[in-house]
Amino acid sequence: MGAIADPVRREILVMLRDGRLSAGEIAGRFRISRPAVSRHLRVLRQSGLVRDELVGRQRLYELDARQFTQLSAWLAQFVQPHGWEQRLDALETEVYRTRRRRRARGAADEAKENTA
Amino acid sequence: MGAIADPVRREILVMLRDGRLSAGEIAGRFRISRPAVSRHLRVLRQSGLVRDELVGRQRLYELDARQFTQLSAWLAQFVQPHGWEQRLDALETEVYRTRRRRRARGAADEAKENTA
DNA sequence: AGAAAGCGTAACCATCAGGTTACGCGTTTG
DNA sequence: CAAACGCGTAACCTGATGGTTACGCTTTCT
């Protein structure tokens, strides 16, 4: 879980949010050496936050949402004790709005996941 | 943000989930020395995850939900890209269930907070 | 096949973070 | 007022971690 503790790693995650990137592409956006980034990538890989795939001579990285979901779930137990109800109301509103937006266009997704 | 990276710190947070505790009480539940715990507490304090108050000769600690909410918000941006809709549905169910439960008894809370 | 690109790993350093013991300060208690 | 309790901080040691350069492997390009 300490994977998200490092600022470089967090930035990598943010980059990956917009889509998959090759190791070189990622490394190129930092001032630190490529091997350094490579190791950060390994940490992210081992922590399960990121998934990698070899394509030709380059390795592409992408986020693996499952781990994030789990983290969210863990954090949730601490958000409850306080203004729980307020937040639920806000969430309800958001859910409603998004569902409307979804119906407006057409939806096609893949399934399976937990509550959080 | 690296505050939640350490297992001892995480455990402290879990303890505090059930209510405020004194430094000694917390330290007593670990095998590591009291000063060590004391420093973990300082890290939690500085990261804003925990709030402390002096009562007599002992210092009581309690969770500060605000920071958790913020963390949740940060994590949320990574949970979306994937099975967004599924999760919303699950959330909607949870919201509904909890609101019912709330109505069943009576609710009294304090206000203000964001979406998370 | 040979050169170059794209990555990861190994070896090595410097820095940091966690743990321990020693110590000091404020608050109860007798 | 003195003794004891409850905590935090300082000083010190040690293991973990991030960064760098050197090197090796696999895939593409000519």
Query: Are residues A81 and A54 part of one domain?
Result: no
In the structure, what pLDDT confidence band is assigned to residue B85 with cuts at 50, 70 and 90? low
B2: amino acid identity, one letter: G
Cβ atoms within 10 Å of B92's Cβ, excluding its own: 17
Q: Are residues B39 and B78 in the same domain?
A: no
Query: Looking at residue B47, what is its pLDDT?
Result: 96
Q: Mark whether B46 and B73 lie in a shared domain.
A: no
Q: Are residues A20 and A55 in the same domain?
A: yes
Q: What is the largest CA-CA distance in chain B?
A: 52
Which nucleotide has its C1' atom closest to residue A24's CA?
A: C6
Number of domains composing chain A: 2
Higher-confidence residue of B35 and B107: namely: B35
Range of the domain at B84: 66-104
Report d(CA A52, CA A23) in Å as an integer: 10
Question: For the domain that residue B7 is a member of, what is the CATH number?
Answer: 1.10.10.10
Whether A8 and A42 map to the same domain: the answer is yes
Contacts of A15 in chain B (CB under 8 A): none
Claim to verify: residue B50 and residue B75 sit in the same structural domain: no
The answer as to whether A72 is a domain residue is no
Contact between residue B40 and residue B9 where contact means Cβ atoms under 8 Å apart: yes
pLDDT category of residue B81 using cuts at 50, 70 and 90: low
Whether A97 maps to a domain, the answer reads yes
The 10s digit of each residue's pLDDT in B6-57 is: 999 999 999 999 999 999 999 999 999 999 999 999 999 999 999 999 999 9
Number of H helices, E strands in chain B: 5, 3
Residue B115 counted as domain residue: no
Residue A80's pLDDT band, with cuts at 50, 70 and 90, is low
Contacts of A25 (CB under 8 A, 6+ apart): none
- Same domain? B58 vs B32: yes
A88 and A49 housed in the same domain: no
The mean pLDDT value for A36-42 works out to 98
Pair (A44, A81) in one structural domain: no
Of B65, B90, B115, the CB nearest to A82: B65
CA of A54 vs C1' of D15, distance in Å? 34
